[in-house]
Amino acid sequence: YHPDKQEADVPAGEVEERMQRFIEIDQAWKILGNEETKKEYDLQQREDNLTKEWPLHAQIYLEDMSWNEDEQLYTLSCRCGGNYSIFKNETKDVSLVCCDTCSLVIQILQ
């Protein structure tokens, strides 16, 4: 992404995208490369995570979950060994599903 290392035949729109990406990387480097600003950044990230209502594990489409015809139930294994479960009749009303053994949550995408 460095501007001095761009090829001459790169389209103009892509050059702007690469320049913007370079600026973002440079800003991140300035923040994370300085111990004091990195500490402030880390504290802000922790605060943001603590103010979230649920620790969102993933966003999942129903078709990516296992379907049990007999129980009319969608399930997905959690990384803790538990399961996320949602009945077919709940899929219209529910978008967040809690794991049955830990505090992680998935969001069901429609």
Q: What does pLDDT average to over the chain?
A: 85
Question: What pLDDT was estimated at residue 70?
Answer: 95
The arrangement of strands across the sheet holding 105-109 comes to 56-61, 105-109, 96-98
Question: Is residue 75 predicted with pLDDT exceeding 90?
Answer: yes
Ordered by start, the domain boundaries in the chain are: 12-51, 56-108
pLDDT given for residue 104 in this prediction: 87
Match 């004091």 to its residue by tokens. Answer: 36
Q: Place domain 56-108 in its CATH homologous superfamily.
A: DPH Zinc finger (3.10.660.10)
**pTM (two decimals):** 0.51
Report the pLDDT value the prediction gives residue 22, as an integer from 0 to 100.
Answer: 87
pLDDT digit string (tens) for 78-110?
989 999 999 999 888 888 898 999 888 898 987
Name, in order, each residue with C-beta under 8 angstroms of 34's C-beta and a sequence gap of 6 or more: none
